[in-house]
Structure 1
Amino acid sequence: MQPKNQMQSALTIKDHVSARMGKLSPKLRQAAHYVADHPEEVATRSLRYLAGITEMSPPTFSRLATTLGYKNYEALREDCREQISRQRLIFGEKARVLQESDSTEPAQGLFALRQAAAAIDNIKLLSQSIDPEKIEAVANQIVSARKVVLVGMMSSRPFVDYMGYMASMAFDNWQVLGAGVESVSSTLAGMDKSDLAIVISKAPFATRSIEIAKEISNSGARVVGITDKISSPLCIHCDTSFFVSTDSPQFFSSHVATLVLIESLMGTVVARSGAEVGRRIAAVETMSHRMGEYFENSL
């Protein structure tokens, strides 16, 4: 019997799994653990995808659904969607919660301390989860690419602009998509398997970024994604994905970990490049002084 709607509003997928875990076979228990720990994957990915990534057959997940009391697998999937929807706070709602907590929970201390603690936690999660070999592999791919295109929309745009500015000191083959005289379409039309794109997109995911990532992937170019969750619609278009935590006590997502990641990646790319890059950086810096772009202290 399928769980009733009023129960679904109170119980999570983990609750349903925990209540029946003792009655599951070892194989179903393995599938149940995955479903309980990855409701976003179940909600957004196909059954075939889940079967492939878990190395379990699609019928295993179907049997699990009926054993948990659902009519079929699609009903289980729909429950996962509803659970995620209940957990997701839009920016306006988060702002309201923030305002209420500020007036009712003074014991939490200065908001700046809470924000700093969240940012530090995000950076810690990045440092604990990042794979140095993965960073190095991507850096090597960037170094060998004919052209590197940076893509970011909405709140992610300042980060590709910053990355593009850093890159302009060291390389002449990087560009921020849409920042120059070349149109987005002409840039995309000229990309092929010798090129690489870095795309940044995090919830609530700019549609334009996802569409562009798809076009770049279809061109044969490599796509490196920076996002905040494995269920991100960006991931299916990426050859490599990096995940950053964006948790924050304020109404908007925190991008501190993103900044650390792109600075780390840029540093690794420069370190992997030849001596010519070092000479170019020095030449650009010298020219900036000559052109009066830096304030010169006369004291």
Structure 2
Amino acid sequence: MSEMPVVINEISAAYKELSPQMQRAAMVVLDDPRAVAVHSMRVMAARAGVSPPTMLRLATRVGFPNYEAFRDVFRRGVSTGTYGDRADNLRRRTGHDGVPGLIARTAEAAIHGIDGFTEAVFSHEVGRVAELAAAAETTYVVASGASFGQAVSFHYVCRLAMPGIELANNMGIRAIDGLATAGPKDLVLAISTSPYAAQTVEAAQFAHRRGVPVASVTDRRSSPIALIAEAAICIDTSSPHYYPSMITLNASLEILSAAIAVKLGPPGVKAISDYEVALRESGYYWQDPNDR
């Protein structure tokens, strides 16, 4: 398996032998390798001022069967760098183009990631996970680290429509402990992106071995929680930040919670309405005394 520095060196070594158009394509890759991970072939071609097929020819020139295989190397390179390395790169890059540049690059990466939601495979997997969750007796959500915060929000929102949803590793218990009573009629929804949290992976594998259906929200089909999943929602977490982007993860979970509510139909709508009434009657929401 090729690594990003190896591919960059191969492009550099071949540069003088490339046609003028391919040299322009090569230069945009060499100038900003991380952009390859974030942007599509079409966007990179526009940056280089060449046609998309020229980017494809560059990829095949250095030994890749297609552009996606070429791009995957850069995705891995970006996601597997240490947080310290990425933080140092962030510091250097921001020192060059300032906070406005940082904001622009972050927004650009987020827009690109969310643009991937329009792909047919994303829609299919969201629909499939929603179907599994709506049909399950109990849906157990498993996440760790930064993803845990996203999972807590997702669990809270989903609980309005689907009372049978549990946060497996809530209240400080291990995720595996929370799945001890899960069975074939339940669902485990594992949430993790590279670098994958061991607790989440192990809990998903534990459930899978016991015959509990597993679904996942992750960053690639080859992730350990996607390989054992009945359905896997894959998102692009590329970002100039030193940590994988939480923007696309949060957005995908928001979409999934809405899709689950739709799949639940009228009972889900009634559950949401009843929950809201209970909150209002309990005084949960603040009211201006002048409006009472």
TM, length-normalised to structure 2: 0.71
The answer (yes or no) to whether the contact 1:139–1:269 under 8 Å persists in 2 is yes
2-side partners of 1:105 and 1:182: how far apart? 45
1:103 alignment partner, one of 95, 98, 106: 95
2-side partners of 1:131 and 1:194: how far apart? 25
2:125 alignment partner, one of 134, 142, 145: 134
Structure 1 unmatched ranges of 5 or more: 1-5, 20-28, 42-79
SS of corresponding position for 1:217: helix
The answer (yes or no) to whether the contact 1:126–1:257 under 8 Å persists in 2 is no
Gap change, CA 1:132 and 1:86, over 3 Å in 2:
closer
Gap change, CA 1:221 and 1:34, over 3 Å in 2:
farther
Match of residue 274 from structure 2? 283
Render the CA deviation track for 1:30-78: whole Å, top value 9, x for unaligned. Answer: xx7559854899xxxxxxxxxxxxxxxxxxxxxxxxxxxxxxxxxxxxx
Q: C-alpha displacement at 1:85, in angstroms? A: 6.3
2-side partners of 1:134 and 1:8: how far apart? 32
2:118 partner letter: S
The answer (yes or no) to whether the contact 2:80–2:194 under 8 Å persists in 1 is no
Q: C-alpha displacement at 1:233, in angstroms? A: 2.1
Q: C-alpha displacement at 1:151, in angstroms? A: 0.5
Match of residue 117 from structure 1? 108
Gap change, CA 1:34 and 1:200, over 3 Å in 2:
farther
The answer (yes or no) to whether the contact 2:190–2:217 under 8 Å persists in 1 is yes
Render the CA deviation track for 1:189-213: whole Å, top value 9, x for unaligned. Answer: 2112111111111011111111111
1:241-256 pair list within 5 angstroms: 241-256=232-247
The answer (yes or no) to whether the contact 1:39–1:84 under 8 Å persists in 2 is no
Gap change, CA 1:278 and 1:34, over 3 Å in 2:
same
Q: CA RMSD in A?
A: 3.2
Q: How much identity, in percent, do the aligned residues show?
A: 19
Q: C-alpha displacement at 1:7, in angstroms? A: 7.8
Task: List, as ranges, runs of 4+ consecutive aligned residues in structure 1 with deviation greater than 3 Å.
Answer: 6-9, 32-41, 83-88, 180-187
Q: C-alpha displacement at 1:136, in angstroms? A: 2.3
The answer (yes or no) to whether the contact 1:200–1:226 under 8 Å persists in 2 is yes
Matched, 1:222 2:213: yes
1:147 alignment partner, one of 114, 138, 143: 138
Q: C-alpha displacement at 1:10, in angstroms? A: 2.7
2-side partners of 1:245 and 1:280: how far apart? 33
SS of corresponding position for 1:193: coil
SS of corresponding position for 2:10: coil
Q: C-alpha displacement at 1:88, in angstroms? A: 3.6
The answer (yes or no) to whether the contact 1:210–1:233 under 8 Å persists in 2 is yes
The answer (yes or no) to whether the contact 2:79–2:238 under 8 Å persists in 1 is no
1-side partners of 2:207 and 2:166: how far apart? 14
Matched, 1:206 2:197: yes
SS of corresponding position for 1:105: helix
1-side partners of 2:77 and 2:110: how far apart? 25
Aligned length: 238
2-side partners of 1:37 and 1:134: how far apart? 20
2:157 alignment partner, one of 157, 163, 166: 166
TM, length-normalised to structure 1: 0.69
Q: C-alpha displacement at 1:181, in angstroms? A: 8.7
The 10-residue stretch of structure 1 (127-136 or 227-236) with the greater mean CA deviation from structure 2: 127-136
Gap change, CA 1:117 and 1:296, over 3 Å in 2:
same
1:91 alignment partner, one of 83, 89, 96: 83
1-side partners of 2:97 and 2:172: how far apart? 51
Matched, 1:259 2:250: yes
Render the CA deviation track for 1:126-167: whole Å, top value 9, x for unaligned. Answer: 223544333223222211111100010011101110111012
1:99 partner letter: R
Match of residue 57 from structure 1? none
Match of residue 11 from structure 1? 10
